[in-house]
Chain A
Amino acid sequence: MGKPETVRLVSKEGFEFVIDYKAACVSNTIKNMLSSQGNFTETELGEIKFPEISTPILEKVCQYFYYKLRYTHCPDVIPEFKIEPDIALQLLMASNFLDT
């Protein structure tokens, strides 16, 4: 199965976030999932379900992916990535899970 252009991340509530393959691979977990040798469903469909990550968190995570892609190896001044304190904990858990 060739590398797909985009990947779909589905949140607990069923929201789908369509992001680039490259962005998704910022997360090591997702990267492994997609490039794993086994014939897991994820690789087949190009879609990953996260029944334990809620939508706002997942949204923030996707934003982070792009933030990371944009500013990696960039000599410019890097703007701050704003994280609201009340989602901080959940975001932390999610990112631990996703190895991001």
Chain B
Amino acid sequence: MIPGRGGAGGKKRGGHFKIEPFRHKVDLDPQYAEKTWKVLEDAIHEIHNHNAFGLSFEELYRNAYNMVLHKFGDRLYKGLEDTITAHLVEVSKKIDVAQGLLFLEETNKRWEDHNKSMQMIRDILMYMDRTYVNQHGKTPVHELGLKLWRDTVVRCDTIKPRLSATLLELIQKERSGETIDRALVRCITKMLMDLGTQVYCEDFERPFLEASADFYKVESQEYIASSDCPAYLKKAEQRLNEETARVSHYLDPSTETKITTVVEKELVGTQVKILVDLPNSGLVALMKDDKFDDLERMFCLFRRGGVLQGLSTMRDSMSEYLRETGKHLVLDPERIKDPVEYVQRLLDERDKMDDIIKKSFHNDKTFQHTLNQAFEYFINLNPRSPEFISLFVDDKLRKGLKGVSEEEVEVVLDKVMMLFRYLQEKDVFEKYYKQHLAKRLLPGRSMSDDAERSLLVKLKTECGYQFTSKLEGMFTDMKTSRDHMHDFRQQGIDLGGIDLQVQILTTGSWPTQSAAKCNLPPELEHCCEQFKELPQAAWSLEVTETRELSLHCGRPDPGRSTLWTAGPRTLHTVDSRTPDAPHCGRPDPGRSTLWTAGPRTLHTVDGRTPDAPHCGRPDPGRSTLWTAGPRTLHTVDGTHYV
């Protein structure tokens, strides 16, 4: 209340003036507060009855202002609280009367009314809000309104259970396929949220989650009994999507993760083991049939947060299946007969699983790991695996990769490398590979030098330099041999009509074969001499015998030796002929000479009896023959060379 001052302007006296005290304060104290309050109370009632348009805002505001100014803020506040509470009690009675869906509608309507009224009241009592409330630490008007609503209406004993029950009923209806008034539910949930997250959680969310859990528990039992794995997964996915949509439509977003977790847990989590193990449609069956979509669905569902150990169960099952099939594959006696087929089957199996992991499991590392472990396990069950893999490579490099493009060659070699990695006995592999490589290189049987080298590089990358040093040595030797032969031929030395091919090998790099002393026939000796006379350092002739009658020469120079191989019945040079048939070759350019050696004899073409010693003369059309005893080579006239 602003005291009136008559003639305010005239009081100025050269900077010094008097300020009059307020006039009305003392007089009106006792009734003033009550009177003012009465005015306000009536106004509030009018507002509640939607009759506000007759009022003057300014007047009410002024009244409130004055009350606070004159220290009647307490009275004002208390009066406000009481009035609103009384009003709300009335409101709640009215809401209670309504039934069913009307109940929710009535609640909603009253809530909206309440909000509007509170806003008006707050506007009027703005001054109080600003000053009194802050000074005395009371709840501001707006919040007071919410609190009173919550306490009197929502938490009212009769209303509270009905409210959540009705809401849950509606949601249940929707789950069964009926349509409900979503907007209405939205308003109610929003109301609960406005009243406070805690109210929402306690009054609605918790019972909602509980009811949902029960519902889905029952549903999962029904489904699992009636459908197979892929169908069940589809249904689960559908329900999950439904719930997410529901949240976006009329629930608070914070509920989303909670409800999805519940669904995941009840619908999927409890059934994980059962689903995976279903005999005809579980994980194993799906993998066998390459059902990528279903597998992907399973993977995505099991990956979700609410599903405990979903993925690990899948992994275990997959691992078991792999190990079983792998073991079966590896120990099957039929398979073992054909190593190439064996390895090919392994590769196929691996390709298939790789495909599944890529398409359905999103290249998940844990599944890759499981796959690798399973393979490692069963490949090593068969001790001959390294040998077979080497044979497979051997086959491919000899002829299997003929006509295949470079990239495809690389692909095949990479796959073989993958299998190689699984081996535990890598040194066994090396041993066999060295043998096979020697057999390929010496007779020049390898189909592609590039492929060989490529594989060698891969092995080196995998196992380090040490592992492949000998193999590399073999390659280098081949090259050097070629160079030497070239030089030798250039020299035009007369070898007595014998065409000679020499491979120079480093001792130790090549598969060592102990050889007995072998006497060379004079012509061969002659050739050797000629060869030895190459401008190299002096070399010693060291002839070793092997089971296959391989002949070596050694020379002290960079520690390299020459080799002639001799099969059990034949001495071959580069293009070996069949072991059994007695052959001879004519010594014309471009062809190698061949001598067969029986267990004790060397025959001529006309196949005379094994025991008789023969001889041949080195003229065109006839071959020279030498018989070879277990340790000697004879000439025709029977003189021995021991």
| Interface, chain A (partner B; CB < 8 A) | 12, 28-29, 32-33, 36-44, 48-54, 56-57, 84-87, 89-90, 93-94, 97, 99
Distance from A50 Cβ to chain B, minimum over Cβ atoms (Å): 7
Establish whether residues B2 and A99, one from each chain, have CB atoms under 8 Å apart when the complex forms.
no
Question: Given A49-B58, A97-B62, do A90 and B123 touch, yes or no (CB 8 Å)?
Answer: no
Neighbouring A residues of B19 by C-beta, 8 Å: 89
Report the bound CA distance from A42 to B47 in whole Å: 15
Looking at the complex, which one of B1, B8, B57 makes contact with A33 (CB distance below 8 Å)?
A: B57
Neighbouring A residues of B127 by C-beta, 8 Å: 29, 97, 99
Distance from B41 Cβ to chain A, minimum over Cβ atoms (Å): 16
Q: Is B56 an interface residue (CB 8 A)?
A: yes
Question: Could you pull out 11 A-B pairs where Cβ atoms are within 8 angstroms?
Answer: A12-B4, A33-B57, A36-B123, A40-B52, A40-B56, A52-B62, A85-B12, A86-B8, A86-B17, A94-B2, A97-B62
Report the bound CA distance from A94 to B69 in whole Å: 12
Distance from B55 Cβ to chain A, minimum over Cβ atoms (Å): 6
Looking at the complex, which one of B11, B17, B55, B116 makes contact with A40 (CB distance below 8 Å)?
A: B55
Establish whether residues B53 and A40, one from each chain, have CB atoms under 8 Å apart when the complex forms.
yes
Report the bound CA distance from A44 to B17 in whole Å: 42
Establish whether residues B4 and A54, one from each chain, have CB atoms under 8 Å apart when the complex forms.
yes
Report the bound CA distance from A97 to B123 in whole Å: 13
Neighbouring B residues of A57 by C-beta, 8 Å: 2
Q: Is B61 an interface residue (CB 8 A)?
A: yes
Report the bound CA distance from A50 to B1 in whole Å: 11
Q: Is B65 an interface residue (CB 8 A)?
A: yes
- Of residues 19 through 44 on chain B, the ones whose CB sits less than 8 Å from some CB of chain A are 19
Establish whether residues A38 and B47, one from each chain, have CB atoms under 8 Å apart when the complex forms.
yes
Report the bound CA distance from A32 to B141 in whole Å: 15
Neighbouring B residues of A97 by C-beta, 8 Å: 2, 62, 65, 127
Establish whether residues B58 and A36, one from each chain, have CB atoms under 8 Å apart when the complex forms.
no
What mask results when residues 370 to 390 of chain B are scored 1 for a CB within 8 Å of chain A, else 0?
000000000000000000000
Most chain A CB within a 10 A radius of its CB, from B8, B61, B119: B61
Q: Give the dominant DSSP class at B's interface.
A: helix
Establish whether residues B119 and A37, one from each chain, have CB atoms under 8 Å apart when the complex forms.
yes
Establish whether residues B12 and A37, one from each chain, have CB atoms under 8 Å apart when the complex forms.
no
Give A44's nearest chain B residue, CB to CB. Answer: B53
Give A35's nearest chain B residue, CB to CB. Answer: B123
| Interface, chain B (partner A; CB < 8 A) | 1-2, 4-5, 8-9, 11-12, 15, 17, 19, 47, 52-58, 61-62, 65, 116, 119-120, 123, 126-127, 130
Looking at the complex, which one of B2, B120, B130 makes contact with A93 (CB distance below 8 Å)?
A: B2
Question: Given A53-B2, A90-B8, do A38 and B126 touch, yes or no (CB 8 Å)?
Answer: no
Report the bound CA distance from A34 to B55 in whole Å: 13
Establish whether residues A42 and B1, one from each chain, have CB atoms under 8 Å apart when the complex forms.
no
Neighbouring A residues of B8 by C-beta, 8 Å: 54, 56, 86-87, 90
Neighbouring B residues of A90 by C-beta, 8 Å: 2, 5, 8
Give B117's nearest chain A residue, CB to CB. Answer: A38
Neighbouring A residues of B57 by C-beta, 8 Å: 33, 36, 38, 40-43, 48
Establish whether residues A36 and B120, one from each chain, have CB atoms under 8 Å apart when the complex forms.
yes
Report the bound CA distance from A87 to B20 in whole Å: 12
Neighbouring B residues of A36 by C-beta, 8 Å: 57, 119-120, 123
Report the bound CA distance from A54 to B8 in whole Å: 10
Report the bound CA distance from A93 to B8 in whole Å: 15
Neighbouring B residues of A51 by C-beta, 8 Å: 62
Distance from A97 Cβ to chain B, minimum over Cβ atoms (Å): 6
